[in-house]
Amino acid sequence: MRDSDVINHVKTLCKEKGWTYYRLAQEAGIPYSTLNNMLHRDNIPTVPTIQKMCDGMGITLADFFAGDIGDAHLTTSQKEILGIFAKLSPEDRKYLIAYGKGLARMKQ
């Protein structure tokens, strides 16, 4: 992946999640000014910064560089659930996971 591809991929992921760059900065725990400089001045992020953004978006570093290849085996419903999950805050993700586990236990 070229340097400009990294920046474009971050922009694409934000658009897919319906996130502002400010929200990404908040979720990733990085200063908004750092993210803004990276996206608008083509400053290439370091691997630790990419890792923080991945953590904030709920994806792995491998997922980031693999693009959509990693979810090719998922059904439409599974992709829909992951899309919803990706738009949630870390706290809301915990609630969704707990709810899902509760539902799964009821079906056993």
In tens, the pLDDT along 67-89 reads 654 555 678 888 888 888 888 88
The pLDDT score that the predictor gives to residue 30 is 95
Please give the mean pLDDT across all residues of the chain: 85
The DSSP call for residue 74 is S
The pLDDT score that the predictor gives to residue 58 is 86
Q: Is the pLDDT of residue 64 over 70?
A: yes
pLDDT above 70 coverage of the chain, percent = 88
Q: Give CA torsion, residues 54, 91, 86, 70, to 10 deg.
A: 60
Q: Is the pLDDT of residue 2 over 90?
A: no
pLDDT above 90 coverage of the chain, percent = 37
- Minimal CA–CA distance to 63: which of 76, 50, 75? 50
Q: Is the pLDDT of residue 3 over 50?
A: yes
Q: Is the pLDDT of residue 98 over 90?
A: yes
Contact 56, 24 (CB under 8 A): yes
